[in-house]
Amino acid sequence: MKIVGYFDGTDSILLTKLVARGFGTIPIANDWDGAGKTVSLIEPGDVDLIVGYLHKVIAPIREAKEKSGKTRPIHRGLTPYDLLYRAKTFDIPTLIIASKDDHKAAKKALGKAADFVTVVAPEDLEGRILDILGE
């Protein structure tokens, strides 16, 4: 059985359709909201595909003021590249959901992770998933 690892907020009707077609689904999480198995700890064979909205892989960032007066970013979690590194390492297809109008901005926000994930519009998601899973 092929398994889709999904971040919290992924369309439950879509996930139900996948299960009805014989695929498995398991929740996965970033390292700051704890809504499933942490994606940065995925092992080969855990999932065949990762799906989630852009905001689930972008950690909140604040700026800290140093004594010198300069500011530096403080991530509350891993960068998208670090969070999804195992997907890259184990060649797990990863679909990041963002509206078509936001694809360019989404790729910029993903940084180095944009090189190995696919940004997909919500209306195209089901078709892309089925293509990847081979149905």
pLDDT band for position 52 (50/70/90)? very high
Q: E strands, 8-65, where?
A: 24-29, 37-38, 49-53, 61-65
Percent of the chain at pLDDT exceeding 90: 76
Residue-level pLDDT at 110: 95
Residue-level pLDDT at 121: 98
Work out the average pLDDT over 102-114: 96
Residue-level pLDDT at 75: 67
| Alpha carbons 122 and 58: distance in angstroms, whole number | 18
Sole residue written with tokens 């992924």: 10
What are the pLDDT digits (tens) for 66-97? 788 888 777 677 889 999 999 999 999 999 99
Percent of the chain at pLDDT exceeding 70: 99
| Contact of 60 with 109, CB cutoff 8 Å | no
Statement: 3-133 belongs to CATH 3.30.310? no
What are the pLDDT digits (tens) for 2-17? 999 999 999 999 999 9
For residue 16, what is the enclosing H or E element?
helix 12-20
